[in-house]
Structure 1
């Protein structure tokens, strides 16, 4: 059996996208996903994303396997890539009037398209804007320790500037769930952090029963943050959309930034807004790299 795929990336956070509309279960196993994500012996990616039939009135369902075979609740850069992939699929079927190879193709048509996507973190609504950027309503952050989940602090209270011992050092961390767990710490110089050694120690710390994503944030100004990330199940990545949202929330909670800011990532910039409706809005690119078939 052969499976068609498309490779997309959002600021260098890259994914293998598979048209899975014919089945409610992913066409490849977590073990096969590990092989496909291998950058030497496979296609190479941070994860495999499946576009499945919608549930409970949604247009599509998103499932994702990380490069280590684990399944996260959601992925911010991934859902932007999925929106571009869906646009391509629907464009090929004639619904949008022609083949759409990437969100940037919408720029000439001066149209925007929105999808309701069911995820393990709830319903997420990405919108492809007329300028080719993808804006995503990421929903409201969860802030109580029990919601993240973490054993830091009291279960029914927010985790803001709580101390934690990692790698022989005490860190002050703020924890946020964007449907997946995030541990944010503010540092003087994000580039000086030894992610490859410190990241895994945060991810597997006993304070996080479901492991955690970890963001190291350098405040450039109140409307600009510089971020490096260790992603749960994927390791060092060039960008993390849910992490950028969590970082902004942590910055507001600790009075280090405004409710709208640019988040600088190694792969590029994301625009993040924490609206007065308490929802997070993320805007950034999603680009198609190539397509092919796998056996």
Structure 2
């Protein structure tokens, strides 16, 4: 049996397993099939991502591996970063920790209101880094889905496409997100955001997440939305972003780093049994 913790950031939920001490846990042996079995909301535990904490070297407190429900691996996840940071803070008694991901080191701190703020690093804006299939202006990507078109793109360690819409409630953005994820211009697929700019410091966001579908919140998606909206002259460098699961506070600093603040919550504890989940 493998202990796990179910956590979420604004409803963006995770199964978190601590594999930093294999001598006590035993080999975890995570495969795409096992990650998918855990994420299954009908036959498994259910989550947007399966998070594995692994030992790491100097410069960070932990390495966070992120597995999507389809078994693919993600390079970044803002809400999971805050959840893992909260665990590390409780473990160490410190108010500042660093989470290492495939994207790099993400410093985190606890704010006076109890929320966790993560430095998600600078966005990547070149078409090769998103990546896109060919050279285009990432501020105006030539994708037209009928009800929405002309998105902006960037990478926050994972690829993001942001469509700007007049009224989020008047479009079927989950269906559009499903279609856009597999567009030929997106060779590694992408997270698809639909942003309604309410004011220069206030945005509503619906997010279709690559490999997961509709999620209540997406931290890296919120970061990408602020970056893309500011590049288009639609908002300032700070904004409140309202997602279906709640609100995140974002800032794109002048040094290029994107800061994201919001809550992190533990739902329950449990234990994994691969045989009970029907995977070898």
SS of corresponding position for 2:38: helix
Partner of 2:62: 60
Deviations 1:21-64 (A, max 9, x none): 02498543221121111112111111110111123532110101
Deviations 1:81-135 (A, max 9, x none): 11122334x2xxxx43xxxxxxxxxxxxxxx612222211111112223432000
SS of corresponding position for 2:192: strand
Q: Which moved more, 1:72-81 or 1:123-132?
A: 123-132
Q: Which moved more, 1:178-187 or 1:35-44?
A: 35-44
Q: Which runs of 5+ in 2 are unaligned?
A: 274-280
Partner of 1:5: 4
Partner of 1:165: 144
Partner of 1:80: 82
1:152, distance to aligned residue in structure 2 (A): 5.2
Partner of 1:222: 200
Q: Give the alignment partner of residue 139 of structure 1, picking from 112, 121, 129.
A: 121
SS of corresponding position for 1:165: coil
Q: Between Structure 1 and Structure 2, how many residues are aligned?
A: 270
Partner of 2:277: none
Equivalence map 1:82-231=2 (5 Å): 82-88=84-90, 90=91, 95-96=92-93, 113-151=95-133, 153-154=135-136, 158-166=137-145, 168=146, 171-231=149-209
TM-score, scaled relative to structure 1: 0.87
Distance across 2 between alignment mates of 1:142 and 1:163: 18
The verdict on how the C-alpha distance between 1:152 and 1:19 changes in structure 2, with shifts beyond 3 A counting, is: same
Q: Determine if contact 1:152/1:159 at 8 Å carries over to the other structure.
A: no
Q: Determine if contact 2:173/2:194 at 8 Å carries over to the other structure.
A: no
Distance across 1 between alignment mates of 2:252 and 2:59: 27
1:183, distance to aligned residue in structure 2 (A): 0.4
SS of corresponding position for 1:7: strand
The verdict on how the C-alpha distance between 1:27 and 1:191 changes in structure 2, with shifts beyond 3 A counting, is: farther
Distance across 2 between alignment mates of 1:69 and 1:234: 10
The verdict on how the C-alpha distance between 1:70 and 1:279 changes in structure 2, with shifts beyond 3 A counting, is: same
RMSD: 1.8
1:196, distance to aligned residue in structure 2 (A): 3.2
Q: Which moved more, 1:144-153 or 1:247-256?
A: 144-153
Distance across 2 between alignment mates of 1:85 and 1:27: 23
Q: Determine if contact 1:6/1:292 at 8 Å carries over to the other structure.
A: yes
Distance across 1 between alignment mates of 2:202 and 2:130: 25
Q: Which runs of 5+ in 1 are unaligned?
A: 97-111
1:170, distance to aligned residue in structure 2 (A): 6.1
Partner of 2:272: 294
TM-score, scaled relative to structure 2: 0.91
Distance across 1 between alignment mates of 2:170 and 2:147: 15
Q: Determine if contact 2:86/2:264 at 8 Å carries over to the other structure.
A: yes
Q: Determine if contact 1:152/1:162 at 8 Å carries over to the other structure.
A: no
